[in-house]
Structure 1
Amino acid sequence: MPPEPESSARGLRRLRTYTFFTVISSGPLALLMGAMFLANSPLPYEDLPVAAGAITVSVALSTAALALHWHGQGYWKRRVLWSVALLVLVAGAAWEAQAGPIGPAWAAPASLLLTESALWARPGSRARTLGFGTLAVVAVVIVLAQTGLIAAQAVVMTIALVPTIAVGVVCQLWHFQVAQELEKARGIAGDLAVAEERLRFAAELHDVQGGNLQAITLKAQVARRLVAVDPERAEAEMRAVEDLARAALKDTREVVGGYRKVALADEIDSAARILKSAGVQATVPDAAPTLDEDTEKLLGLLVREATTNLIRHADPTAADVHIVEVDAEVTVTVTNNGAAAPTPGGNGLAMLKDRFTEAGGSVEHEHDGDRFVLKGTVPKPRAPQPPQRQAAKRVPPVRRIAAKRARR
């Protein structure tokens, strides 16, 4: 069995530890390389302690500045440490120049100074700073070599070590910063996914339970009025309330599970039944067109929202559901009379409009006197067309209007 992948937080902690020790170990590495070059240099024995001390102090100060950068502290302290380290390094090299040409022992400590100076720049400018800094160091070394102050071996080692160590340390820090940004983006993506699921649940719950609860309320009112004059019919109405409650419970469970499918034909039939139970003459299409799942869901939600608002906010006697297909678009229009004066508040139509807009469609509504019209248009997905050798003749738009039936 393959090992289970470790969590991102644990991996980031390990990467942080690894990066920290990699960056800090550049100091002991530079010190070791300087000691090796000093051990093989022709410098007189009495001058070795001075050169070794200068290299040690310069490396220690540069490493301390890198540690402060890692912890995000000491803006001015880092510059002070860098300045002192540079002075000590130059003084030690000048001391060695009195006894002969300067050897390659100073190349590795110089790379730490270049690394710290590159970290002063913004993250996007560090590569450019490293390039210019390397060119400056190499130019100074070449000029000094022309005067005989620096040995040829020191020039070669400076060109090889200074950019290598500096780029390695800066790249390690950049790699860890990218990992931090990715982890942060992962957390934001998780928060957005939770927020999106909450919005989906709120929208689905509003769409599903709005009509069900309104129908249950209407049936309960009818049963209450008939209980004294017609007990049998009142009992039938209460059975209908029970059935609606079971359906509402089932829909709620499906919304929670996230697998509820909305079919346009089912929504139209459900709207016709609800309107009929409310005493509204409903004219609906005999058959709904067969569309893809997403398109049917959007149009079904529009029919459901219109039915809920019709019963809740109006006193209609007639309602009409109209479906028109024109080429690559489908339009569903719901019209009713008995509409009350428009009132502020409510978010059903706003949520519906947002959903249609995301799908490339639109939702329009018109309030004219006691007549209210809700119209939603959504494009149908295009089926892939095989390549044709000859241009097809232009076909005029096809306009199909579903046949209607009236329910009283």
Structure 2
Amino acid sequence: MSAPGWVTTPVTAGLLRGALDLERTEHGLLPHRLPARARAQCSDPQLAMAESQPSGVRLVFRSRATAVELDVLPTRRSYVGAPDRPHGVYELLVDGRPAGRGSVPDAGRVLTVDLSTGATTTRSGPVGTVRFTGLPDRPKTVEIWLPHNETTELVALRTDAPVAPAPAGDRRTWLHHGSSISHGSDAASPTGIWPAVAASLAGVELVNLGLAGSALLDPFTARALRDTPADLISVKVGINLVNLDLMRLRAFTPAVHGFLDTIREGHPTAPLVLVSPILCPMHEDTPGPTALDFTTVAEGRLWFQPMGDPAEVAQGKLTLRVVREELARIAAERTPDDPNLHHVDGRTLYGEADAAELPLPDGLHPDAATHRRMGERFADILRGIAQGA
């Protein structure tokens, strides 16, 4: 229970960064990373889960408060037979420096999925409170980064001193789109996902549209990127298309062109970085789809496996090698008319030497150390592009 004299501040758009839309619920405010128009055009439960998980979303305000409480109602997932997933982490930064972290393990909803049947059950729980105390008693900028992997409804913000929205400042805005790797799968904390690491090191303001399982060249995502203000834009594409075996090469090439064309309608001259997939040995030469190995689930661990046949590449099936070659060709084809388009081979972020040192724990997603490494490397790319702009 908060002490008398505390200030309750309504959570509004002015206090939130990284969200494209806010939904009022019966409990509070739910940040979305895709606008309502985009959400209305796709009923995929995976996309609904991914875009409602606030990867890169944070509360930012000015205050001299020494204590902060945030009431939240999270929704997290668990899987029958699989190891328990870590609880979502809330990270506190004071003037850009780490100053605390917390979780609400006994609060919120738990959605349990039986991967063998697709059946789901939901267990409801109460609102929880994450508390941060011992903050310096001076005017400062406070950031609370929300869990990158738990849908989070914001119920109430309380402090022991008044708060005000933080000025936007003069940092450039970086808008990024990618798969679960960009979303932050297997990262240890919201500021530990590789786009957040890169943004911090490069001194840019992140808007993260990394959408787990959903970097699929969807037109509504392209329009969201088109309509979102940004100074730098990056699109990392390929792995989800292979995972789902969603399209053949014939469809892939014009889809990439169309995606980039749509972004350019809203950002005709902004630096735009086209990033191909990082190394993933299982899909370098073997197409999708990707499936969970249920024998490993029974052993208490997760491992993914490719289900395609390399011989099908001749019929146009996509592998990561095919995707990289085609993205490089597309970028080279477009660059004469678009000098602000840049191409990055994803293997420069995580390649063969990295895989030998830091193998993908489930065959698909990087671990926390790899997120850090990728972020450091992409920060160099962002700084280089910014200097050349």
Give the TM-score of the pair, scaled to structure 2: 0.23
Task: Report 1 or 2 for greater relative contact order, CA contacts < 8 Å, sequence distance ≥ 6.
Answer: 2
- The structure richer in helix per residue is 1
Which of the two has higher C-alpha Rg?
Answer: 1
- The structure richer in strand per residue is 2
Give the TM-score of the pair, scaled to structure 1: 0.22
